[in-house]
Structures are given as structure tokens and as C-alpha cells.
Amino acid sequence: MNEMGFSKQNKVIRVSFSGGIIGLLVGSHRGKLENNILKMNADGWNLAEVIPDHINLILWILRLLLLLVTLGLWTLGTGYILVFERPARSKLSRKVPVVENGPVLRAEPRL
């Protein structure tokens, strides 16, 4: 919580892209990212971080199998994890009476 009594609320979304020949022909990484970011901005979220999506061995094998089954037309593509944040009013952010006890200020407990 910052000095004005606001805390931050976070939201994480995954943006995936198509792979294979279809992904090469009609896939737009920039367009898909822009659409997701604009939609989140309209809801009051701000982009805080972009993390490249890392795949493990099982996903790599699944992608290879999908490429073989679809004759190279489609597979799961790589993507990004987008972290958004926005200010959120905390339940504890209400005005709390402050009492001076010596050199240190402290908030009185509430029931």
C-alpha cells in the first residue's frame, strides 16, 4: 500500500499464437498483443510486465505431434504472459486515527 492508501491489484493473462503454415500466413503477433492490451486498458488495467512464455519438453513433443497430424498446417505457437495492474482501494485504507505515543506515531486498533 502506498502513502495515499491505495494498493495495487494484479491480473495475469496468456496470449498464445498459432504456429505452422497457418500461423505464418495469417498470424499477427503485434495485432493480437495490441488487441489484448487495448481491451485491458479499457477496463482500467495498465501493462506492468511482459514475460516470454517458456515451453517444457511435453509441450514441445505435443507441438511436434500436432504438426505431424495436421501436415504442418497448425500447431500451438509460442506466446507471452502479460501482467497488468491497477490501483485498488484497500479495506484497510479508510482513515485511521493516529495517536502520538512518544516519538513514534501509530494507528489505534479498531474493533
Q: Return the percentage of the chain with pLDDT > 70, whole number.
A: 74
Residue 29 vs residue 99, higher pLDDT: 29
Residue 26 vs residue 94, higher pLDDT: 26
Residue 96's pLDDT is what?
45
**Per-residue cell: 36:** 489484448
- The 10s digit of each residue's pLDDT in 32-43 is 999 999 999 999
b/e sequence 1-31, b meaning 16+ C-beta within 10 Å: eeeeeeeeeeeeeebebbbbeebeeeeeeee
- CA distance to 8, 9, 58, 65, 78, per residue, from 87 (Å): 4, 6, 38, 44, 30
Lowest-pLDDT choice from 37-41, 89-93, 95-99: 95-99
Residue 107 vs residue 47, higher pLDDT: 47
